[in-house]
Chains A and B, each alone.
Chain A
Amino acid sequence: GQQVMQIPQYQHVQEGEDFTTYCNSSTTLSNIQWYKQRPGGHPVFLIQLVKSGEVKKQKRLTFQFGEAKKNSSLHITATQTTDVGTYFCAGNNNDMRFGAGTRLTVKP
């Protein structure tokens, strides 16, 4: 079945540094979604990517969907303490599979 791998598992950065998390699927995806879960909270939808090679931006966050629609990345520029949390990708191929998540901590 579909597998969604996400790396790294953890990332600790100094405030102001950039951060990137990567997601790879074993199969071609219809679309991919990204969620953020704050410590003790619930996953909150950030964005959905549908088209091959798509790039979307939300302020300091940049999301990319690979040409083959098998991989995706989330890049945060100049992290802030409010960015702390776990970022999940979720790949859709008639079955929404979440990656294991990347836990981001930010040192002020």
Chain B
Amino acid sequence: DAGVIQSPRHEVTEMGQEVTLRCKPISGHDYLFWYRQTMMRGLELLIYFNNNVPIDDSGMPEDRFSAKMPNASFSTLKIQPSEPRDSAVYFCASSFVVFGELFFGEGSRLTVL
């Protein structure tokens, strides 16, 4: 298996622009997680899905952030409008069981100018 695939790997955008990050989980994994990593706050769980249904989105910073999982093989994390404080590495991870071994993608490094 190719592992968890994320795109883009790097994104540089200007404040106010919309950003969409994409993730393809490992086939057969029922759980998908979005994490954000910064130096100041470490690894934060934003949201996770079970069988494409959002289960816990309490970590989503604010209404500017939204996440969807239209099918078992694809998820998006959208930021609209983006702000400089959103600059971070966003990781997608998937697992067989909830909070079991997490398989992380390589991350999307977002820079908002």
Interface of A toward B, CB cutoff 8 Å: 30-31, 33, 35, 41-45, 48, 88, 90, 92, 94-101
Closest B residue to A97 using CB positions: B45
| Contact, CB under 8 Å: A98 / B101 | no
**Closest A-B pairs by Cβ, 3 of them:** A98-B43, A42-B104, A96-B99
Closest A residue to B59 using CB positions: A95
Report the interface size for chain B: residues with CB under 8 A from the other chain.
18
Chain A at the B interface: SS class: strand
Interface: B91 (CB within 8 A): yes
| Contact, CB under 8 Å: B106 / A43 | no
Nearest-CB distance from A78 to chain B (Å)? 27
Nearest-CB distance from B34 to chain A (Å)? 12
Among candidates A48, A88, A94, A95, residue contacting B43 with C-beta atoms closer than 8 Å: A88
| Contact, CB under 8 Å: B42 / A45 | no
| Contact, CB under 8 Å: B104 / A44 | yes
Among candidates B35, B43, B103, B105, residue contacting A45 with C-beta atoms closer than 8 Å: B103
